């Protein structure tokens, strides 16, 4: 029992010191309400120690509050529609289709709230190694129940000459302003 209390105290101390997110600081203005994404680029991971991978029955009861808090964020769902890669995270859907000059990136945001929102979505697309491009989508005055749609072409000088067949797509931020 003392060992599980020690691990629980260490985990609580780590969370209090480092915070709950491993993402890098955002360029969000202090007055904006930001929704923390659960998908972030690999470079944004921190060196904070993690909890042990195994747990005993005594540990399971102590960590139930932490597990409930962590599972409150939606998990990304990755799928493919032909040659299009689709990433869905909560109310955001991002689609990337390879083209001759880069990628056509489309973003849809469903306003599932009961009020009109102004939403900015920042998306990164890359090859998982060195090529990364970021694009932003703005959905002002999005009425309740409506879907905002935006599309753009992301171009770039690819390190190996061609765009990747299976790009890495990250929903960096969803900001309500």
Q: Are 133 and 98 in contact (CB under 8 A)?
A: no
Instruction: Read off the pLDDT band of 4 (50, 70, 90).
Output: very low
pLDDT, position 26: 40
- pLDDT at 73 exceeding the cut of 60: yes
Instruction: Read off the pLDDT band of 168 (50, 70, 90).
Output: very high
The model's pTM: 0.60
- pLDDT at 82 exceeding the cut of 50: yes
pLDDT, position 72: 67
- What are the C-alpha distances in Å from 133 to residues 12, 16, 53, 67, 152? 36, 33, 34, 33, 12
Structure token digits, residue 39: 């998908």
Query: What is the Cα–Cα distance from 24 to 55, expressed in whole angstroms?
Result: 29
Query: What is the Cα–Cα distance from 152 to 137, expressed in whole angstroms?
Result: 9
Tens digits of per-residue pLDDT, 84-132?
A: 999 999 999 999 998 888 899 999 999 999 999 999 999 999 988 888 9
8-state DSSP, 166: S
8-state DSSP, 143: -
pLDDT, position 69: 54
pLDDT, position 136: 97
pLDDT, position 66: 52
- b/e per residue, 50-72, with b = 16+ CB within 10 A? eeeeeeeeebeebbeeeeeeeee
Tens digits of per-residue pLDDT, 26-69?
A: 443 334 444 444 444 444 333 333 333 334 444 444 454 555 55
């Amino acid at each position: 029992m003392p060992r599980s209390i020690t691990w629980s105290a260490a985990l609580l101390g780590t969370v209090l010191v480092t915070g709950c997110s491993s993402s890098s600081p955002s360029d969000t203005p202090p007055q904006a309400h930001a929704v923390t994404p659960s998908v972030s680029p690999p470079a944004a991971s921190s060196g904070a120690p993690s909890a042990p991978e195994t747990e005993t029955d005594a540990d399971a009861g102590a960590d139930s509050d932490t597990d409930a808090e962590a599972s409150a964020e939606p998990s990304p769902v990755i799928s493919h529609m032909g040659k299009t890669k689709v990433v869905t995270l909560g109310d955001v859907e991002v689609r990337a289709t390879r083209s001759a000059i880069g990628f056509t990136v489309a973003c849809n945001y469903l306003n599932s709230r009961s009020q009109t929102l102004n939403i900015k979505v920042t998306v990164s697309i890359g090859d998982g190694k060195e090529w990364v491009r970021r694009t932003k989508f703005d959905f002002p005055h999005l009425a309740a129940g409506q879907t905002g749609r935006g599309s753009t072409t992301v171009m770039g000088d690819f390190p190996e000459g061609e765009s990747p067949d299976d790009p890495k797509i990250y929903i960096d931020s969803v900001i309500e302003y």
